[in-house]
């Protein structure tokens, strides 16, 4: 039986490793690569919203969205307005690895089919 302290240590290490990987991913975000609730981020107001997003609390959705977009997309909180917004990647070749990573994460979290 695994000691509870060892179990806690393993969980902490896994969380830290995931946080480090996620931090690297978040640093590469650029407003021109995303659609904010389906709209390009061009105006000053939209850019202010972009900079206020809390990506550390975001979660991914494989889709489809209520608007019919296939996905994947992210639900990202905007704490200043107490809202959550859908952020869709503007897909290009440079996003291919990010989308693959998102799919792999979703599949890893999904319950196994028996």
Identify which of 22-26, 64-68, 77-81 has the greatest average pLDDT. Answer: 77-81
pLDDT computed for residue 88 by the predictor? 87
- Phi (first) and psi of residue 92, to 5 degrees: -150, 180
What does pLDDT average to over the chain? 77
pTM (predicted TM-score): 0.60
Cα–Cα dist 86/2, whole Å? 41
pLDDT at 97 over 60: yes
pLDDT at 20 over 60: no
Letter string b/e over residues 13-27, b meaning 16 or more CB atoms within 10 A of that residue's CB? eeeeeeeeeeeeeee
């Amino acid at each position: 039986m695994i000691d509870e302290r060892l179990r806690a240590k393993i969980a902490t290490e896994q969380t830290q490793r995931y946080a480090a990987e996620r931090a690297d991913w978040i640093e590469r975000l650029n407003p021109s690569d995303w659609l904010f609730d389906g709209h390009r981020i061009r105006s000053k107001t939209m850019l202010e919203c972009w900079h206020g997003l809390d990506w550390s609390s975001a979660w991914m959705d494989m889709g489809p969205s209520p608007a019919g977009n296939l996905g994947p997309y992210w639900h990202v909180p905007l704490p200043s307005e107490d809202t959550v917004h859908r952020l869709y990647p503007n897909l290009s070749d440079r996003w291919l690895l990010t989308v693959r990573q998102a799919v792999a994460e979703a599949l890893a979290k999904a319950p196994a089919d028996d």
